[in-house]
Amino acid sequence: GQSLEQPSEVTAVEGAIVQINCTYQTSGFYGLSWYQQHDGGAPTFLSYNALDGLEETGRFSSFLSRSDSYGYLLLQELQMKDSASYFCAVRGHNQGGKLIFGQGTELSVKP
């Protein structure tokens, strides 16, 4: 089976840097994705790591280490609008491409 663990909530101040971790248990997967969801809205794609290492997209970066079964999303220069829930997700090799999400991390950015 597949499972992903994230912290339930994180608080940071504007302008700071925050890291949201994701640890997973899966027998094999194509890559680790990250999504952002504002309250009441639909999740939107942020980043994808197919290979180990760091992927950078503007203020957001994502990291994957398959040997450690671990990844993280790094948000820099935090803005109030970054307050949202963040989900990691994997699609497994097995089980017909099942796309599974973690429980989500609620990020609160304070002034």
Partner 1 sequence: DGGITQSPKYLFRKEGQNVTLSCEQNLNHDAMYWYRQDPGQGLRLIYYSQIVNDFQKGDIAEGYSVSREKKESFPLTVTSAQKNPTAFYLCASSMAQGAMGEAFFGQGTRLTVV
- Determine the residue type at 85: S
Residue 65 or 95: the one with the smaller Cβ distance to partner 1 is 95
Provide the β-strand partners of residue 63: 54, 72
Longest dimension (CA), the chain: 45
Binding mask 67-96 for partner 1 (x = CB under 8 A): --------------------x-x-x---xx
d(CA 63, CA 49): 7
**HSE of 79, CA atoms in CB hemisphere, 13 A:** 4
Output 13 or 25, the one with its CB closest to partner 1: 25
Minimum CB distance to partner 1, residue 15 (Å): 27
Site for partner 1 in 25-44 (CB under 8 A): 30-33, 35, 41-44
Name which position in 15, 28, 53, 97 contacts partner 1 (CB under 8 A): 97
